[in-house]
Amino acid sequence: MHPTPLKKITRVRLPGKRPSELWDITTQDGRIASVDAHDTGASGLDHGETLDGSNRLIAPSLCHAHIHLDKCFLLQDPKYDDLQIKSGDFKEAMKMTSIAKARFEEEDLMRRGSQLIEESIQHGVTAMRAFVEVDGVVQLKCLDAGLNLREKYKEKCDIQICAFAQLPLFSGKDNGVEVRKLMEAAATNKNVDVLGSTPYVEDDECKSKDNVRWISALALRKKKYLDLHLDYFLEEDKQPLVWDVLQILKDHDWMKAGGKQITLGHCTRLIRFRDEEWNRLKQEIGEFAVSFVGLPTSDLFMMRSPDSVRGTLPIVKLIKQYGFDAAIAINNIGNAFTPQGNCDPLGIAQLGVGLYQAPTTDDVQLLYEAVSSRAKAVIGHEPTSLGFEPGEPADFVLFDSMDSGWRCRRSIAEVVYDAGSVRQTVYRGRSTTTCS
């Protein structure tokens, strides 16, 4: 059953406006047609075409810029209840996930993936980049499930599928031959939007560069977005691969060859950068459409250096001080890589208040954008801004219930500090959830 299109959303509070002011938003063909002061005398629209906002705050919908769809909820699923964390390190997480992947079947991939998507929609998500692994163990099983989930939820959420090589492309017993063949097969599918890999799992630096060179050439040839898990370590004496990535893009003549947007996730080694290195990186990126996604829940849990440093990309600083395109995202839910957290992107924004020491009105607006409009932009999805400009997608989330009283959130700051649990999601001008 398809959600009914809305013609108008009435009596809502808008970000940046006085809490006492109420507004009406008219939508047409899934986009904002107009935003006007609430007309108390207006009537005549069919109830099914009008959503009464009841003084609630409306904001642009949320986005998972980076989430793993196939290995979610492994710690909660009864099928995998023998796989529990003992040491909590990266090596154990890789081993546990490998054991679990050998048991993956269509039924549980669809069941767990549906749960993630439905919970995300309830939280206000209308777009996500979903990673599904491709390798000799799962073959194309995770990819097929991801594509089925994309189709299943296409009326409620835009799901970008990233065919992802978590295992090496040039190391291991067959030097990655099988994974490369499977990734080439995945890249031919027109419904696969993104290609991704993990260069740091290779045996040495030369093979890591080969990984980047190969996957970027494939993405360029097949006209796909490129998403790399990069520099996932903290040791200062180990050199980041980001400089080689940029050189490889130049060698490909990426922009003139029609290359699409590039997203770099994790990049925890970059927290050791000083101002001159950040400035150099900004200059080296130049005209390339390169963006960064910080994954703080995973990074803080998993990353440990010998000198007890923990860290994640300083996203607020990257945006405000250096002008990078950046966002934050959840990454994993309920598995050995990230056992804590849920499907709510605003949980990451809330964490960012303390993590980045970002409590001001401008800071929290930026944190909201980092899981909303900025998150959509870094994955190439058309965003809805906090300005609610006519022509932008009618993708919204309304906060609180209709009778929340004085606890009803009135501003973006209140939402980031404490988003509450009751929300209503609108995707392409259609209400996809109901408030309680």
Any idea what the CATH number is for the domain that residue 226 is in? 3.20.20.140
Domain assignment present for residue 103? The answer is yes
User: In terms of domains, do 35 and 122 share one?
Assistant: no
User: In terms of domains, do 306 and 403 share one?
Assistant: no
Question: Cβ(411)–Cβ(57) under 8 Å?
Answer: yes
Structure tokens at 155: 């009326």
Q: Is the dihedral of CA 54, 55, 61, 67 positive or negative?
A: negative
Has residue 307 got a pLDDT over 80? Answer: no
Closest to 315 (Cα-Cα) out of 329, 305, 331: 329
Question: Cβ(422)–Cβ(435) under 8 Å?
Answer: yes
- The pTM (predicted TM-score) of the whole model is 0.95
Has residue 328 got a pLDDT over 60? Answer: yes
Has residue 436 got a pLDDT over 60? Answer: no
Q: Is the dihedral of CA 292, 297, 301, 305 positive or negative?
A: positive
Q: Which of 338, 358, 375 is the last residue of a domain?
A: 375
Has residue 149 got a pLDDT over 70? Answer: yes
Query: What are the tens digits of pLDDT across the range 20-39?
Result: 899 999 999 999 999 999 98
* Strand ranges (E), 81-219: 125-133, 158-165, 194-197
Strand (E) or helix (H) holding 112? helix 106-123
User: In terms of domains, do 91 and 25 share one?
Assistant: no
Give the domain extent around 224: 62-375
Q: Which of 357, 375, 393 is the last residue of a domain?
A: 375
Residue 2 has a pLDDT of 64
Domain assignment present for residue 247? The answer is yes
Has residue 327 got a pLDDT over 80? Answer: yes
Give the Cα separation of 172 and 194 in Å (integer): 24
Give the Cα separation of 281 and 343 in Å (integer): 32
The number of domains in the chain is: 2
Strand (E) or helix (H) holding 249? helix 242-251
Domain assignment present for residue 166? The answer is yes
User: In terms of domains, do 225 and 365 share one?
Assistant: yes
Tell me the percentage of the chain whose pLDDT exceeds 70.
Answer: 96
Tell me the percentage of the chain whose pLDDT exceeds 90.
Answer: 87
Residue 302 has a pLDDT of 84
The amino acid that residue 86 corresponds to is K
User: In terms of domains, do 153 and 279 share one?
Assistant: yes
Q: Which of 375, 395, 417 is the last residue of a domain?
A: 375
CATH at residue 31: 2.30.40.10
User: In terms of domains, do 117 and 260 share one?
Assistant: yes
